[in-house]
Structure 1
């Protein structure tokens, strides 16, 4: 694993605890740091700020009155953190709403670890090149 990968912090936003732990473990196996997993949009916004995450893996269906798309919109506008949706939502309406937040990726569950890793690396690359401009 390269050095940059070891320092990359990924916030996992997932309303199902078992799924969140699975994702966290898979990310750690890939060499990423996972400072926290949260279950609601409000927690996601707070943790994105507190952990200074490099990337957010966002489910669309969350606990509470805010879905992942709304949380992603706020996180991107306030903190500029890249978002990859990791969701079981396949409907056109949610996909269209998600596109409006300019995500770095949209991965459907169940996912392959290889797809997740490649999407994360591309998202981080794009984010770093944006910050250099």
Structure 2
């Protein structure tokens, strides 16, 4: 049976969380985390393994599962399978706009979960394979940063040893701006404006963001210039 190795459950009912965990344990699927609200989910996805998300539409807090899925898909390409107790047309159409990989209606059985997740993951892998085939015939401009890191300008994706690196939206934007100005220092104001727009942020926000990248990617050639700004510096012969 084909299952994702790591799955994240977003479900506000503890009993349902446990029921799902029991099912996945029978198939050696690791539950990377169980969450009942959007804020905890978004924060956790920065640091945990995830190959698929099982998303309840009605979760705790002001953000429902549909909006949470939209927010996640702005940064990640995780396949999402929705769970809902509502089968009205309006909800269904709203979910369809996200092109979900699956839809499970409550109450559900073990068979519903197993069948839907296998089918969803198979669809996801097929989709990924098609994308790779298409990309062979498309020009992809890679910038070699060092022996481990490369950056696709066309896709705005950072790769470590040929594997895409998971970054937050703000980390990705910072890197994108620095790559656009590779080997040139970008000043603090320009970076802050590019990342946060007109939002008011603390003076330390940019420094904290850079620190988070350095902590996650210690070998990235990201340099700082006191009282000036930051730059990505590489060997121009690459």
TM-score (norm 1): 0.87
1:16 maps to which of 13, 18, 21: 13
2:52 maps to which of 55, 65, 81: 55
Structure holding more strand per residue: 2
2:62 maps to which of 60, 65, 72: 65
Aligned residue pairs: how many?
A: 130
Say whether residues 1:91 and 2:88 are aligned partners.
yes
* Structure 2: distance between partners of 1:69 and 1:32: 24
Which blocks of at least 5 consecutive residues in structure 1 are unaligned?
none
Say whether residues 1:106 and 2:103 are aligned partners.
yes
1:33-78 Cα deviation digits (max 9, x unpaired)? 1011000022222233322310000000010110000111122231
Q: Which has the higher contact order (CA 8 A, sep 6+)?
A: 1
* Structure 2: distance between partners of 1:68 and 1:86: 9
* Structure 2: distance between partners of 1:12 and 1:32: 12
SS across alignment from 2:32: coil
2:70–2:98: 8 Å Cα contact kept in structure 1? yes
1:77-101 Cα deviation digits (max 9, x unpaired)? 3111000012212222111111111
* Structure 2: distance between partners of 1:67 and 1:13: 10
2:23 maps to which of 12, 17, 26: 26
SS across alignment from 1:106: strand
SS across alignment from 1:79: coil
1:24–1:37: 8 Å Cα contact kept in structure 2? no
CA RMSD after TM alignment? 1.7
Structure holding more helix per residue: 1
TM-score (norm 2): 0.51
